Amino acid sequence: MLQEVWAPDVREAYIISGLGSGKSTIGAVFLAYALYWLHNLKMPQRYYNLRPTSKLVVLNVATSAPQA
């Protein structure tokens, strides 16, 4: 599954699962892996076909204040 998420044409990934299923943990693992993976690319902007000066952003967003 991680290989599919990191394909250059994938811009978003969603985790839909029940209460107490570990979504936050999975999100934290994805976030850590994303940062590690981007850090190890020599030219991440080139991989994503972006300008060399483009900033890359990795987000983990809650849908409401209580979830944050």
Rounded to two decimals, the pTM is 0.60
pLDDT 10s digit of each residue in the chain, 68 long? 555 666 767 777 777 888 888 888 888 888 888 889 889 999 999 988 999 999 988 877 777 777 76
Cα 42 from chain centre:
18
Sequence-ordered list of residues with C-beta below 8 angstroms from that of 31, at least 6 positions apart, any chain: 58, 60
